Structure 1
Amino acid sequence: MIIAIGADHAGYRLKDVIVPFLEAQGHRIIDLGCNCADSVDYPDYAVPVCDKVVSGEADRGILICGTGIGMSIAANKTPGIRCALVHDLFSAKATREHNDTNVLAMGERVVGPGVAEEIVRVWLDTPFSEGPRHVGRLNKVKAIETQQALHP
Structure 2
Amino acid sequence: MDNIQVSVILGSDSDVDLGKAAIKSLRSFDIACELKVISAHRSPDILVDYLKTSKDRGCKAYIAIAGMAAHLAGAVAAHSSSPVLGVPTAHSLNGLDAILSTLQMPAGVPVATFAAGTAGATNAGIFAAQMLGVADNSMAEKMIDFKKELREKTIKKDQNLDRD
Q: 1:49 to 1:102 in 2, by over 3 A?
A: farther
- Output the amino acid matched with 1:41: R
Task: Percent identity, please.
Answer: 13
1:108 to 89, 105, 110: 89
Per the alignment, residue 59 of structure 1 pairs with 60
- State the SS of the aligned residue for 1:11: helix
Mapped to 1, the partners of 2:117 and 2:8 lie a distance apart of 17
Give 3-state SS (helix, strand or coil) of 1:76's partner: helix
Q: Which amino acid aligns with 1:7?
A: L
In the alignment, which of 5, 23, 28 is matched to residue 27 of structure 2? 23
Deviation at 1:125, TM superposition (A): 0.6
What's the counterpart of residue 95 of structure 1?
A: none
Displacement of 1:48: 4.8
**TM-score, normalised via structure 1 length:** 0.52
Q: Distance in 2 between matches of 1:5 and 1:45?
A: 15
Q: CA deviation at 1:42?
A: 6.2
**Which secondary structure does the structure 1 equivalent of 2:71 belong to?**
helix
Q: Conserved in 2, the CA contact under 8 Å of 1:67 and 1:106? A: no
CA spacing shift, 1:105–1:46, aligned 2, 3 Å:
farther
Q: CA deviation at 1:44?
A: 5.9
Match of 2:7 in 1: 4
Q: Does the alignment pair 1:125 with 2:126?
A: no
Amino acid in the other structure paired with 2:86: A
Deviation at 1:123, TM superposition (A): 4.3
Contact 2:77/2:84 (8 A) holds in 1:
no
Give yes or no for the alignment of 1:41 onto 2:45.
no
CA distance in 2 between partners of 1:68 and 1:23 (Å)? 29
8 Å contact 1:49–1:61 — kept in the other structure? no
Q: Report the counterpart of residue 101 of structure 2 in structure 1.
A: none
Aligned mates of 2:17, 2:58 — CA distance in 1: 24
Change (3 A) 1:119 1:59: closer
2-side partners of 1:17 and 1:68: how far apart? 22
CA distance in structure 1 between the partners assigned to 2:58 and 2:69 by the alignment: 23
Contact 1:62 1:103 in 2 (8 A): yes
Question: Can you give the 5+ residue segments of structure 1 that lack an aligned partner in the other structure?
Answer: 35-39, 83-100, 129-152
What does residue 100 of structure 2 align with?
A: none
